[in-house]
Structure formats: C-alpha cells, structure tokens
C-alpha cells in the first residue's frame, strides 16, 4: 500500500485520500532546523534521524491508528516488526511509533497537510 491511500482523521471529520507525503519536524516550529529533527514520508517510505522504513500493508489498529508491516533499519539494526502511525488523535500533528523505541515521534508538517491545523 502506498501512503497516498492513507486515511487521516481529525477530531471533526474523516478526510479520505489525505496526502501526508511531505517533510515533518519532530518538534513544533522546527521546520527550519537541520536534518536531525526531520522525518520525510514519501510513497512507501518513512525516513528520519537514525531510521529508514519501507512500508508494506496497513491495517486499522484503533481510533486514528494505522499499523504497518514494514522493514526498517533503526540505529543500524534491521527489523521487520512493523510500525504504527497515529493519524487521528491530534489536531496539529501525527505521531510515529518505531519498534525498539519507547517514545512516539511527533510529526509536525512543514507544508500543509489535509486534516491538520
């Protein structure tokens, strides 16, 4: 599945066909900073500081959550445990959960993304 087919949900309305392929900052207002605070989502891939993932199929994983089959290289180690994207529980950002990392990464868009303020 490609990311263009993702469904993004804001607390108000479901936005089918939301295109979330862009560059994101891991901190609010950090779009003008260096690559250590950037995550890029392109068709079938998510790349950020210390990781690179190729996405496979997705499935709903709860309100606003999508789980993905994925092959990732995280901090130099390859894994196929998958990942999760939270596309519907915040109004101004998405969140990304990577295997082996405890905290969710915040994804503040650097260009307008449907469904986010």
Residue 4, pLDDT score: 38
Residue 14, pLDDT score: 26
Tokens for 91, please give them: 């109004």
Contact indicator for 23, 101 with CB cutoff of 8 Å: no
Question: Which helix (H) or strand (E) covers residue 107, if one does?
Answer: strand 105-109
The pTM for the full model equals 0.81
Comparing CA positions, the residue from 49, 59, 54, 50 lying closest to residue 23 is: 49
Domain boundaries, the chain: 3-109
Residue 30, pLDDT score: 95
Residue 62, pLDDT score: 86
pLDDT in tens, the chain (117 residues): 334 334 333 222 222 234 899 999 999 999 998 889 999 999 889 999 999 999 999 898 988 899 999 999 999 999 999 999 999 899 999 999 999 999 999 999 999 998 888
Q: Helix (H, G, I), strand (E, B), or coil: what is residue 58?
A: strand
Tokens for 14, please give them: 């479901």
How far is 109 from 29, CA to CA, in rounded Å? 9
Residue 13, pLDDT score: 25
Residue 19, pLDDT score: 81
């Amino acid at each position: 599945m490609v990311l263009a087919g993702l469904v993004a949900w804001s607390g108000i309305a479901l936005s089918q066909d939301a295109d979330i392929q862009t560059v994101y900052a891991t901190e609010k207002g950090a779009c003008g900073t260096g690559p250590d605070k950037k995550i890029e989502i392109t068709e079938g891939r998510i790349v950020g500081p210390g990781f690179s993932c190729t996405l496979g199929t997705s499935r709903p994983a709860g309100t606003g959550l999508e789980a993905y089959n994925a092959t990732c290289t995280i901090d130099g180690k390859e894994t196929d445990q998958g990942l999760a994207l939270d596309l519907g529980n915040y109004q101004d950002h998405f969140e990304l959960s990577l295997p082996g990392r405890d905290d969710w990464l915040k994804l503040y868009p650097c260009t307008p993304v449907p469904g986010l303020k």
